[in-house]
Amino acid sequence: MKKVNPEYLTALMDIANEGPYLKLLPMQITAFEYGYCKVETVVTNQLNNPFGTTHGGVLASLLDTATYWAAYASIEEGVGITTIDLNVNIVGSSNSKKLISEGRIIKLGKTLCLAEATVTDENGRLLSQGTSKILVVQGLQTIETAAEKIGYGSLPNKFI
């Protein structure tokens, strides 16, 4: 397994957290490692369904975000990814104010990545679990493009 430069992971987290969708929900990536990503959100009333519990779409977004960025932290430099399939299993409802999603890669290949994630509430109660198939493509949605879009500047080397 390659060792990811900690400075690169910090830059990746900074850039990802500037994404408009993450700000909309609001989600924040709070931890990165090779093959791992942790995402947290504070649930506001706007994220609830009519019954006062978190909408399933929020859970799906947390799963998708955690799996996507767990994969991104592991791919080669200059390569991008896109989610091609997301399987979501909702196993509980919650009116918690904080949700945590942890994503991990299961298998990373040259063109396809399989990843999984869970969403729990602040008490560790499992709310959803999912898997994601992610397409790895040269030059598609690279972090360099995202960095340029927000005026981030140059990135440190990814691997050490």
139 pLDDT band (50/70/90 cuts)?
Answer: confident
Are 7 and 42 in contact, with CB atoms under 8 Å apart?
no
41 pLDDT band (50/70/90 cuts)?
Answer: very high
Q: How far apart are CA 36 and CA 117, in angstroms?
A: 9
pTM value is 0.95
What's the pLDDT at 136? 97
What's the pLDDT at 2? 75
DSSP letters, 84-125, are EEEEEEE------SEEEEEEEEEEE-SSEEEEEEEEEETT--
Level-2 CATH architecture, domain 6-150: Roll (3.10)
Q: How far apart are CA 106 and CA 120, in angstroms?
A: 19
> Mean of the pLDDT values across residues 121-136?
97
What's the pLDDT at 105? 98
Query: Is the model's pLDDT at 33 over the cut of 90?
Result: yes
- The residue ranges of every structural domain in the chain are 6-150
Are 137 and 113 in contact, with CB atoms under 8 Å apart?
no
Query: Is the model's pLDDT at 1 over the cut of 80?
Result: no
78 pLDDT band (50/70/90 cuts)?
Answer: confident
